[in-house]
Structure 1
Amino acid sequence: MVVVVSSPALVPQEAECFNRLFEAGLDILHVRKPEAGEEVINDLLQEIDPHYYARLAWHHQHAVGEAWGMQRIHLTSVVRRQTSTAQLDRWKAAGRTISTSIHTPEEYEALPSTIDYALLGPVFPSISKPGYQSASPLRAPVRTSQVTKLIAIGGIEPHRCQAVYALGFDGIAVLGSIWQQGDPVENFKQVQEAWYIHDPS
């Protein structure tokens, strides 16, 4: 699985770029716009091909996403702790796919089974947040009864995909390596090719 996380800031012709990413084979796009209001998000959605709505996950403005029929909800670690088990169960019963952010293997073991996948990181020093890295190297913990998929995030570039796969992750999430410089779609294609060499599933 390859996940792209949007730039937190608005990007010129962003919706068109999202459409091109999906056309290039992107699995899931996480829309992370913490400072954007409802009007901005609505304008963005109007320009995204509705065919791709099922592959959009929302970090913020969950109510707006649900109003547009979105099926994927992402919870920050803070919001996850504030969300009741009953609410998680209601989302699952409604057919939602739920993801969350975690920062330690210990958090992973404590996740409820209603969480479909978790972004664990930063696995490598972050590209989008210079100086942000884990105190110790992160690797996927040994799975026992936990069924939640683990997605590596943080410093993921094409040349690191082999190492990420060897660390036991189910997929990768990329942000800085996509949006920092150059054409986002071409950057994505390089990451996509590097990942699926090691994980053809």
Structure 2
Amino acid sequence: MKSICKLDFTRMQVLVISSPQVISGEARLINLLFEAGLPCFHLRKPGLGHQDLRSLIDGIDAVFHSRIAWHQHHEIAIDLGMNRLHFPVAQRNLSGGTYLSGLASNGYILSTSVHENESFTGLELFDYTFFGPVYNSLSKNGYQGICTEDFELDSQLKKCTCVIGLGGVTPQKIPLMREMNFDGAAVLGLIWNEPERAIENYKNLLTALH
């Protein structure tokens, strides 16, 4: 199952992270993003309870469920037979290698996050890792980018996991991030700051990607 569902990092990917807030018509927009070519949607709703999360999932076409990565309430994902689980730093540190290894062995696709000055070592169980903010965030005021114009990810650091840059991603930044040696980009603010332009903005990212 895992070998079939993994993202293809032989080419750069653009992923979308949900707004932490509830967005009007969100499920419909998520469906449209998938139809536009979105390979993976990261569901991060820290303030949403089980019932509201299930209601959101019910509004997303079942054919796309295998492309959704869960940032919390992993038990719901497991119960629904969905196999993408994201582990923020704190949750990753609490989970332990045995638990994570068991998930990976059972076909779960695992992702995590690292921040500035954190090591990429010890992440072999994770298919990919978020790293940032690369540029000044579009969704969080005062969240400053940490990458200079001449920044480049050391290929040695990426031997254990693919690296997805996030923070301030726009179509204009995609070629620069490719030069920085990122395997992909993740967007939040560009999509959800103007939900009425979400699909247009995502398609612009794809145009820049290709």
Provide the TM-score with structure 2 as the length reference: 0.88
> Residue 89 of structure 1 corresponds to which residue in structure 2?
101
2:134 matched to 1:127? no
Given that 1:2 and 1:26 are in contact with CA atoms closer than 8 Å, whether structure 2 keeps it comes out as yes
Q: 1:127 to 1:111 in 2, by over 3 A?
A: farther
Given that 1:105 and 1:141 are in contact with CA atoms closer than 8 Å, whether structure 2 keeps it comes out as no
Residue 84 of structure 2 aligns to which amino acid in structure 1?
A: R
Residue 54 of structure 2 aligns to which amino acid in structure 1?
A: N
Mapped partners of 1:67, 1:111: distance in 2: 28
Mapped partners of 1:20, 1:98: distance in 2: 25
- Pairwise mapping of residues 47-62 of structure 1 onto structure 2 (< 5 A)? 47-62=59-74
- Pairwise mapping of residues 112-123 of structure 1 onto structure 2 (< 5 A)? 112-123=123-134
Mapped partners of 1:13, 1:136: distance in 2: 34
Instruction: Mark the runs of 5 or more structure 1 residues left unpaired by the alignment.
Output: none
Q: 1:144 to 1:54 in 2, by over 3 A?
A: same
Residue 164 of structure 2 aligns to which amino acid in structure 1?
A: I
> Residue 9 of structure 2 corresponds to which residue in structure 1?
none
> Residue 114 of structure 2 corresponds to which residue in structure 1?
102
Instruction: Mark the runs of 5 or more structure 2 residues left unpaired by the alignment.
Output: 1-12
Given that 1:56 and 1:72 are in contact with CA atoms closer than 8 Å, whether structure 2 keeps it comes out as yes
1:68 positional shift? 1.1
Mapped partners of 1:29, 1:135: distance in 2: 24
Return the match for 2:25 from 13, 24, 28: 13
> Residue 147 of structure 1 corresponds to which residue in structure 2?
160
Given that 1:159 and 1:194 are in contact with CA atoms closer than 8 Å, whether structure 2 keeps it comes out as yes
Q: 1:130 to 1:19 in 2, by over 3 A?
A: same
Given that 1:123 and 1:154 are in contact with CA atoms closer than 8 Å, whether structure 2 keeps it comes out as yes
> Residue 185 of structure 1 corresponds to which residue in structure 2?
199
Provide the TM-score with structure 1 as the length reference: 0.92
Mapped partners of 1:173, 1:63: distance in 2: 24
Mapped partners of 2:158, 2:137: distance in 1: 30
Identity %: 35
Given that 1:149 and 1:170 are in contact with CA atoms closer than 8 Å, whether structure 2 keeps it comes out as yes
Residue 16 of structure 2 aligns to which amino acid in structure 1?
A: V
Deviations 1:32-67 (Å, cap 9, x if unpaired)? Answer: 000000000010111111101110000111111111
Q: Name which structure has the greater RCO, CA cutoff 8 Å, separation 6+.
A: 2
The alignment of Structure 1 onto Structure 2 pairs a total of residues equal to 195
Residue 197 of structure 2 aligns to which amino acid in structure 1?
A: D
**SS in structure 1 of the partner of residue 119 of structure 2:** helix
Residue 129 of structure 2 aligns to which amino acid in structure 1?
A: A
> Residue 82 of structure 2 corresponds to which residue in structure 1?
70
**SS in structure 2 of the partner of residue 99 of structure 1:** strand
**SS in structure 2 of the partner of residue 57 of structure 1:** strand
Q: 1:96 to 1:89 in 2, by over 3 A?
A: same
